[in-house]
Structure 1
Amino acid sequence: MDEFRNRKEPYKPMVYICSPYSGDTQYNTEQAKKYSRFAYEQGAIPMTPHLLYPQFMCDENPAERKDAMHFNYVLLGNCSELWVFGSRVSDGMAHEIGIAKKRKLTIRWFNESCEEVSGNE
């Protein structure tokens, strides 16, 4: 057991994946999986709450959506960067971007093909 405690793993930053969920949730979920895989392949730990909470919470229930969004903001506080994907910024994404700016997190912007683009700030 001590061999695991003393083992040094390379640093992997935790990055928050910011992409649309509402609307075409099936397509947006597949895209979020792709973006998460991309972050993983870049050596990051992807934090993608909209792949987790819709598994047991209803996005169409206003109280549950409010709770899920609050959970997202808590998770965002544990990330070192926010990665924004896609050409459309939803209201929920805009709020997450605003929180990241207030917290002075690094924000990186990517298109749907996971190519980094200039910021939309």
Structure 2
Amino acid sequence: MSEAILEAPAAIQKLRENRPNPHYRPLIFVVAPFTEVVKHNRQTLAEVRDYCHYIHELGGIPICPQLYFPQFVNLHNYHDFQVMNFICIVLLTKCEEVWSFGEPTRDMNFFIKKAFKKDIPVRYFSSEMEAW
């Protein structure tokens, strides 16, 4: 599953240890319900923004494709969706960790499995941002 369960602040602090730049911020890939964001579910959008804000406040850089790509990619177009998935995987490989928020959905599990295949640590958090 994931590394030892650490609360989010401790996890970010651990990623920042022994870095020559005191302002270093690790890239964190945010795994959240992609389908609900694409459907413009306002509650889900607000929650995903909160997850990103939380990571930012702790000193990380949230990488959250589900907030970014729907702004300019037609995710209902199969080709665009496939290209977007490829780009998401590229972004995921640049991140130090993957943080999954809430109960993983089918689309979330896709990115979690990719992270495991790429040996990128995955941390799990409830929708209230508590480690589990």
Q: TM-score range by the shorter chain?
A: 0.7 to 0.9
8 Å CA contact 2:28–2:96 kept in 1: the answer is yes
State the Cα deviation string for residues 63-115 of structure 1 (Å, max 9, x = none): 2111111110000010000000012x232211111111011111110111111
Shift in Å, 1:42: 1.5
1:84 to 85, 100, 114: 100
> RMSD value over aligned CA atoms?
1.4
Q: TM-score, normalised by structure 1?
A: 0.83
Partner Cα distance (2:61, 2:28) in 1: 6
Indicate conservation of the 8 Å contact 1:82/1:105, yes or no: yes
The corresponding residue for 2:109 is: 94
User: Where is the helix percentage greater, Structure 1 or Structure 2?
Assistant: 2
1:56 aligned to 47, 53, 72, which one? Answer: 72
Instruction: Report which of the two structures shows the higher radius of gyration computed on alpha carbons.
Output: 1
Q: Which has the higher contact order (CA 8 A, sep 6+)?
A: 2
The one-letter code sitting in structure 2 at the alignment partner of 1:32 is: V
Identity %: 27
Q: TM-score, normalized by length of structure 2?
A: 0.76
Structure 2: stretches of 5+ with no match in the other structure: 1-20
Whether 2:53 is the aligned partner of 1:37: answer yes
> For 2:126, which of 106, 111, 114 is the aligned residue?
111
Once the two structures are TM-superposed, the CA of residue 16 in structure 1 deviates from its matched residue by: 0.1
Distance 2:94 2:108 in 1: 17
Shift of residue 18, structure 1, vs aligned partner: 0.3
Partners of 2:83 and 2:45 in 1: how far apart? 19
Structure 1: which 5+ runs fail to align? 1-7
Q: Deviations over 1:4-45 (max 9, x none)?
A: xxxx44221100000002135333222111100011112111
